[in-house]
């Protein structure tokens, strides 16, 4: 595993040269944030040694290197999901490669179903915390001290200072920004009404099929994480309607420019 991580990192360094401190994972329907990146160099996943290949519609499958504003970034246009059949080591392999490349900040986005009564479709939710309901843990198995401690602390999984900065930027620019707890499940089915109700009872504000594994591994790797959900459907008793993947993508595209602006401004102000 360590050899694969290093081989992949060495390949990327050989292709790109200087590696940015900032990495962004672009989720379902949010890949258009890549259009804001200038001076691009792209590496398709199928050309990168040891990299999985995304199989989901709306995930194009490439690493993009370039500038977001005046900062150099890496963007994953397309991520890997447990429901695709990958194990958790494969789902989180890109985070391990980022770690080997000495990335310090990870920005994550996803599409999610909202259970909070104050949420509307198209809202952006700043993730304050998560509840992990995946059946497999990404750190299960032998721990490699080179990658992180056996029992990593998760009390600040979503970096408090980055969250405060995002909230400040949203307020300055009159961007409606919700916040709450994200529940990660395996998918690929959307939730039943009873499941939505259960997730709300246990403390969730939004639910999705990604993000949690990457965030756990990023914390294990001592990265600072900031994450957002775009609320693409509503799972509130009495308001639940049938949802399709295409509708999720469309709702995400509408909200994406505001989320892209917040991420761009946070990166601009970090140093």
Give the CATH number of the domain where residue 160 resides.
3.40.50.1580
Phi-psi region of 33 (alpha: psi -120 to 50; beta: other; left: phi over 0): alpha
Separation between Cα atoms, residue 216 and residue 212, nearest integer Å: 6
Tally the domains of the chain.
Answer: 1
Indicate if the pLDDT at residue 90 is higher than 60: yes
Cβ within 8 Å of residue 57, ≥6 positions away: 245, 249
| Residue 99 token pair | 């770690």
Count CB neighbours of 222 within 10 A: 12
- The domain of 69 spans 2-269
40-67, pLDDT tens digit by residue? Answer: 999 999 899 999 876 665 556 899 999 9
177-235, pLDDT tens digit by residue? Answer: 999 999 999 989 988 889 999 999 999 999 999 999 999 999 999 999 999 999 988 88
Beta bridge partners of 141: none
Indicate if the pLDDT at residue 96 is higher than 60: yes
Per the CB < 8 A criterion, the answer to whether 233 and 113 are in contact is yes
How much of the chain, in percent, has pLDDT values that exceed 90?
68
| Residue 176 token pair | 């409606």
144-164, pLDDT tens digit by residue? Answer: 999 999 999 999 999 999 999
Mean pLDDT for the chain? 90
Indicate if the pLDDT at residue 30 is higher than 70: no
Region 102-111 average pLDDT: 94
Q: In whole angstroms, how large is the CA radius of gyration of the chain?
A: 17
Preceding peptide of 65 cis, ω within 30°: no
pLDDT at residue 137, as a whole number: 97
Separation between Cα atoms, residue 111 and residue 267, nearest integer Å: 21
């Amino acid at each position: 595993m360590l050899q694969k991580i290093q081989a992949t990192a060495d390949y990327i360094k050989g292709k790109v040269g200087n590696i940015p401190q900032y990495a962004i994972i672009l989720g379902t329907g949010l890949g258009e944030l890549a259009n804001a990146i200038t001076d691009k160099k792209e590496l398709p996943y199928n050309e990168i040694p040891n990299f999985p290949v995304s199989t989901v519609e709306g995930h194009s499958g490439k690493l993009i290197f370039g500038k977001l504003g005046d900062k150099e970034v890496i963007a994953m246009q397309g991520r890997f999901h447990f429901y695709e059949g990958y194990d958790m080591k494969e789902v989180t392999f890109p985070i391990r490669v980022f770690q080997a490349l000495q990335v310090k900040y990870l920005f994550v986005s996803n599409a999610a179903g909202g259970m909070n009564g104050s949420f509307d479709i198209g809202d952006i939710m700043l993730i304050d915390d998560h509840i992990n309901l995946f059946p497999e843990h990404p750190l299960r198995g032998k721990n490699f001290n080179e990658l992180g401690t056996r029992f990593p602390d998760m009390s600040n999984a979503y970096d408090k200072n980055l969250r405060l900065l995002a909230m400040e930027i949203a307020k300055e620019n009159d961007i409606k920004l919700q916040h709450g707890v994200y529940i990660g499940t395996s998918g690929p089915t959307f939730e039943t009404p009873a499941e939505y109700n259960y997730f709300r009872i246990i403390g969730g504000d939004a639910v999705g099929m990604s993000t949690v594994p990457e965030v756990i591994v990023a914390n294990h790797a001592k990265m600072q994480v900031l994450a957002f959900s775009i609320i693409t459907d509503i799972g509130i008793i009495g308001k639940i309607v049938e949802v399709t993947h295409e509708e999720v993508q469309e709702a995400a595209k509408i909200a994406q420019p505001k989320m892209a602006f917040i991420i761009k401004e946070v990166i601009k102000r970090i140093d």
